[in-house]
Amino acid sequence: MKDLSTEEILELASHFSLEGGGVSAEPFGNGNVNDTFLLVTDCGHRYTLQRINHDVFKDPVSLMDNFARVTQHLAQKYAEGQTTLQTLVLVPALDGSSYLIGEHGNYWRVTEYVPGGLSLEVPESREHAYEAGRAFGDFQYQLCDLPGNPLIETIPDFHNTESRYHAFLRAVDADPCQRASEAADLISFAKENEHLATLIRYADFPTRTVHNDTKLNNVLLHETTGTGLCVVDLDTVMPGCVLHDFGDLVRTAACSSEEDEPDISKIHFLPDRFSALVEGYLCGVQDLLDPVEVEHLAEAPQVITYELALRFLTDFLLGDTYFKVKRPGHNFERARAQFQLLRSMQEYAPQMKSTVSSCLTAGPA
Ligand code: GN1
Ligand code: MG
C-alpha cells in the first residue's frame, strides 16, 4: 500500500468523531499486516488509527461488524463486573459508521488509545506469562455466550495447517524467485515434520469464538502491576479452535527471543514460562474446555510454531508479498527461527505434557 504523508493521515482522521483536531500521527506497534498510527489531538487525546490491509482481509465491512459485536459484548461483561479486562473502544466516523473508506478503497478505523499498557515481544517474568495466559483464556471464556449468528470468517482456513502445508509445497514447486535452493535445509525440515500439519484439525474440536492471533504483544499488561489490561488486535476474532490461541501464545511467550531472531543459538523454549502460561490460561478459561481440548494443550504450541514457520517460508519463496519485511531475507530468518523453536519444543515435549497434567491436578491457583 502507498505510504501517506502525515497531512494526508490527519485529513483522514478529521472524518472521525475525535476530541480536538489531530496534530500528529506516528507509526505505532509492530503489526506485520495492517498499518497502525498513534494519533494525538490538540487537546492531548490519544487514539489508534488503523488502515486495514484489504489484500489480506477481503471483506473489511464484515470484519468491522465482527469487531463492533465483540467489543460491545466485552464492554458489557466489563460493566457487569464479569471480567477485569478492558476492551478496545471504537470511535465512530462523523457519519456514525465504524469505519471510513479513504482513497484507493482503503478502510480506516479509530479506537481509543489504551493508556498504561505494556506490549511485550519477549516475556520479562513468569508473572507476565501467567497474566497473558489468563487474559487470553478470559477472552475466550467471555465470548462463549456472544449473542447472534457466528462471526464472519475474516480469513477462511486461517489455522488450517494442512492447507498451509500444501501452499508451502506449491511454493517450493513453483519457486518463482529461485529461492528454494537457499532454503533447502528449512524445506527438508518442514517436510520431515509433515505429521504436524494434521495433528490439530478444526473438525475434531468444538468450534468456539477465538482470537486467532494471540501473540504476546497482542495483550496489554498493566505497566506497573503487570496484570492483564486489554486484549488487542481483534481482526481475526472468529469461529475457530481454542488450541490455536493457546499454542500461538506459547510460541511467543515461552520463547527466549523474538520471532525473527537471526542468531538461532539464542532461541530456545522456556519451560518455566510455559508452566505459567498453562496455569494462567486454565484460570482464565474457567470450565470452558472439553477433555479433547485439554488433551491437546501440550501439543498445540508445536503445531502453531510449525504453521508459522511454513507461512514465513512460503512468503519468502513467493517473494515477500504477505508479511511486511524490514530487510532482505527477513521472512527466511523468521522461518528459520520458528523451526529452531520447534526443535527446542520437541526436546521438551514430554515435560510439556507433564506440566499440563500437574497444572490440572493442582487445580485453580
Ligand atoms: C501477523 O500483523 P500481526 O503481527 O498482528 C499475522 C499473524 C501472525 C503474525 C506473526 C492476519 O499478525 O497470523 O502470527 O503476523 N496476521 C495475519 O508475527 O496474517
Ligand atoms: Mg494481527
- Amino acid present at 245: D
Tell me which residue has its CA closest to atom 10 in ligand 1: 32
Centre of ligand 1 from the C-alpha of residue 33, in Å: 6
Side chain identity at residue 335, one-letter code: A
Quick one: pLDDT at residue 363? Answer: 72
CA of 130 to the centre of ligand 2 (A): 21
Task: Give tens-digit pLDDT for 3-56.
Answer: 889 999 999 999 999 999 999 999 998 889 999 999 999 999 999 999 999 999
Q: Which domains does the chain have, with CATH numbers?
A: 6-58+88-113 (3.30.200.20), 126-362 (3.90.1200.10)
Name the residue at shortest CA distance from atom 12 of ligand 1. 32
Is 322 strand, coil or helix? coil
Nearest protein CA to atom 15 of ligand 1, as residue: 32
Q: What is the mean pLDDT of residues 161-175?
A: 98
What's residue 103's pLDDT? 84
CA–centroid distance, residue 324 to ligand 1 (Å): 10
- Nearest-angstrom CA–CA distance, 241 and 188: 28
β-strand partners of 101: 107
Q: List the shell of residues around ion ligand 2, using CB closer than 5 Å.
A: 213, 233
Counting every residue written for the chain, the total comes to 365
Residue 1 scores a pLDDT above 60: no
Torsion of CA 114, 119, 123, 127, to 10 degrees: 0
Q: Which residues line ligand 1 (CB under 6 A)?
A: 31-33, 56, 213, 215, 233, 236, 259, 308
Strands (E), the chain: 22-27, 35-41, 46-52, 90-91, 100-101, 107-112, 117-118, 208-210, 219-222, 228-231, 238-240
- Counting ligands in written order, which one lies closest to the CA of residue 338? 1
Q: Whose CA is nearest to atom 13 of ligand 1?
A: 213
> How sure is the predictor about 202, in pLDDT bands with cuts at 50, 70 and 90?
very high
Which amino acid makes up residue 41?
Answer: T
C-alpha cell at 258: 523474538
Q: What is the mean pLDDT of residues 178-207?
A: 98
Place 76 in a pLDDT band, splitting at 50, 70 and 90.
very high
Distance in Å, CA 44 to ligand 1 centroid: 30
3-state helix, strand, coil in the chain (%, to 5): 45, 15, 40
